[in-house]
Amino acid sequence: MHPALLGLLTIVIGVSGCIGYFYGSNLLLDKVIFPARGPNIGRNINRANLIRPWLFLFPAIFALGLYLAYPVVETLRLSLTDRDAGGAFVGLQNYSQMFGEPKFWEALRNNFLWLLIVPAGATGFGLLAAQLTDRIRWGNLAKSLIFMPMAISFVGAGVIWKLVYEQRPVDVEQIGVLNAIWLGLGGAEPQTWLTIPLWNNFFLMIVLVWIQTGFAMVILSAALRGIPEETIEAAIIDGASPFQIFFKIKVPQIMGTIVVVWTTITLVVLKVFDIVFAMTNGQWETQVLANYMFDKLFRANDWGVGSASAMIIMLLVTPILVWNVRSVRKETQ
């Protein structure tokens, strides 16, 4: 069967299945199990209403439990066992093996670099773009162009930036913009940007900053607009310069939003895989945890260490997890 037809069929089956489930289960509850008639009508309605939320929630809870909660536990278990030994419990052996590998420390170091630079870069540029575009007439057009990379896949972005970083021998015309500029500025010879240790990490990070800036800009721009006019007017009357207004009046007021943007991008960074996989595959000292894990799982075929490195990623997101949960708890109470 043609895959497009198959897809269509699945949409029909999936959607009608979902609707059928919700409709049918409600019907069953209301008409058969606890019918809203007969002697026990009041009790039946109450009982039905006790159960109904769970009917509504069941598919979601089931999927969440299976696809997100169970893997956390299972990964933890795998990280403590050795598959070659028939899945025997080996304690922290996988972890100690991983800690003994220089590649792991390289990945961890790089991940920290990414964590420092990408959220800062994207939030900084986003704030700048938000502030500047709010003041001009063609701001909306500018915003949507800066926002555009958000729609581009990491792999597509990888190709786009590989073209930017492309290198040709010195006596041949450069086709990568960066090298053309580099030579134009008097650089002696073209650089292979993606293989210069340490620096290449920054060239990879630029790609993610490029993608995430639009996101930061959109949210920060909404926050900037939400600042009460009076505070700014008061500052103008006091003779504050535009820079003072921006840094002393506006930024403090939207600090909460900045933190949200920062943490959201941090989450993206922790999971970054495609960019590194497509552009360097972790070579030339650009390894990151997510790609290290993929390597361990599928190249070295070492599920123990692979799972252990996945747990490290989990550990790194845990503070954000706790913080998010706490702020939501505060809100809903």
Partner 1 sequence: MDNIAGSKSGLTWVTHISVAILVFLWLFPTVGLFVSSFRTADQIATSGWWKAMFPATQNLQLRAAAPETQTELGGLYVIKGNLFTEDRRDQTEISVFGISSRAIDAFRPGETAELREGGTITVAANGDYRMENTEPFKGKRGQRVFVTSDIPPEFTLGNYDTVLGKDVVKRLVVFAIAGLVFFVVLRVLFKDIAGPVAKAAPAVGGIGLILALAFTFGLSTGTVEGAQTTDSMSNAFFSTLTVTIPATIIPILVAAFAAYALAWMDFAGRAVLIAIIVGLLVVPLQLALIPLLKLHLSVGIGKGYLGVWLAHTGFGLPLAIYLLRNYMVGLPRDIIENAKVDGATDFQIFVKIILPLSFPALASFAIFQFLWTWNDLLVAKVFLIDATGETTVMTNAIVEMLGTRGGNWEILATAAFVSIAVPLGVFFAMQKYLVRGLLAGSVK
Partner 2 sequence: MKHSLYAGATVLALTAGMAGAEQVTVFGPWLGPDQENVEDVLAAFAAASGHDVRYVGSDSFEQQIMVDAEAGSAPNVAIFPQPGLASDMASRGFLTPLAGGTGDWVRDNYAAGQSWVDLGTYADASGNNQHYGFFYKVDVKSLVWYSPENFEDAGYDVPTTMEELKELSDQIVADGETPWCIGLGSGGATGWPATDWVEDMMLRTQPPDVYDDWVSNEMPFTDPKVVAAIEEFGTFARNDSYVAGGASVVASTDFRDSPKGLFSSPPQCYLHRQASFIPAFFPEGTVVGEDADFFYFPAYAGKDLGSPVLGSGTLWAITNDSPAAHDLIGFLQTVEAHEIWMAKGGFLTPLKGVDSSKFADAPTAKMNDILLGATTFRFDGSDLMPGGVGAGSFWTGMVDYAGGKSAAEVAAEIQSSWDALK
From 176, 208, 322, select the one nearest 275 (Cα to Cα). 208
Which of 119, 121, 149, 190 forms a contact with partner 1 (CB under 8 A)? 149
* Partner in contact with 212, chosen from partner 2, partner 1, none, beta carbon below 5 to 8 Å by kind: none
The verdict on 6 binding partner 2 (CB under 8 A) reads: no
Identify which of residues 285 and 288 has a Cβ nearer to partner 1 in the complex. 288
Q: Given the rule CB under 8 A, which of 84-92, 95-103, 188-196, 267-275 is the region that contacts partner 1?
A: 267-275
User: Residues 6 or more apart from 307 whose CB is under 8 A from it?
Assistant: 75, 76, 78, 79, 94
User: Residues 6 or more apart from 281 whose CB is under 8 A from it?
Assistant: 291
Identify which of residues 97 and 131 has a Cβ nearer to partner 1 in the complex. 131
From 263, 269, 279, select the one nearest 319 (Cα to Cα). 263
The verdict on 6 binding partner 1 (CB under 8 A) reads: yes
Identify which of residues 146 and 290 has a Cβ nearer to partner 2 in the complex. 290
Where is 1: in which H helix or E strand?
Answer: none
The verdict on 85 binding partner 1 (CB under 8 A) reads: no
Tell me the angle at which helices 139-147 and 102-133 cross, rounded to the nearest 10 degrees: 170
DSSP state of 239: T
- Smallest gap from Cβ 306 to partner 1, in A, equals 7
Identify which of residues 40 and 144 has a Cβ nearer to partner 1 in the complex. 144
From 302, 101, 288, 318, select the one nearest 201 (Cα to Cα). 288
Give the contact letters, 206-245, x = binds to partner 1 (CB under 8 A), - = no: ----x--xxx--xx--xx--------x---x-----x--x
The verdict on 74 binding partner 2 (CB under 8 A) reads: no
Tell me the angle at which helices 199-225 and 255-270 cross, rounded to the nearest 10 degrees: 150
Summarize as ranges the residues that interact with partner 2 (CB under 8 A): 97, 100-103, 167, 169-170, 172, 189, 191-192, 194-197, 281, 283-285, 294-295, 298-302
